[in-house]
Amino acid sequence: MTRAVPCGPAALAAPKPDEGTTRDVLPPTGTRRDVTDGEAVSGPVTLEAYAAPPGMTPAFVGPEADGATEAYQALARSGAER
């Protein structure tokens, strides 16, 4: 499964089907920050077998979008650069 769901103009979520599983994530064109670790991801690219910490939904924030700062602050995980 390579599905990612836009969550407003700034955020993109890629829900995992089951706890403990990995999945392929396909961020669209542009640069987004992974809220799990703060790393920049430039799309389009396939992140194969992407794993997020247990209980976390993979999410990415486009830094140039309206509301990006607020979205990243709300979604950033412990250890991610804020």
Residue-wise pLDDT tens digits, 18-69: 666 788 888 888 899 988 888 999 989 999 988 877 777 788 898 888 888 8
Q: Taking the mean position of all CA atoms in its chain, how far away is CA 47?
A: 11
| pLDDT of res. 1 | 47
> What is the pTM for the complete model shown?
0.74
Whether pLDDT at 78 is above 60: no
What's the Cα-to-Cα distance from 54 to each of 3, 20, 25, 62, 80, rounded to whole Å? Answer: 19, 6, 17, 23, 16
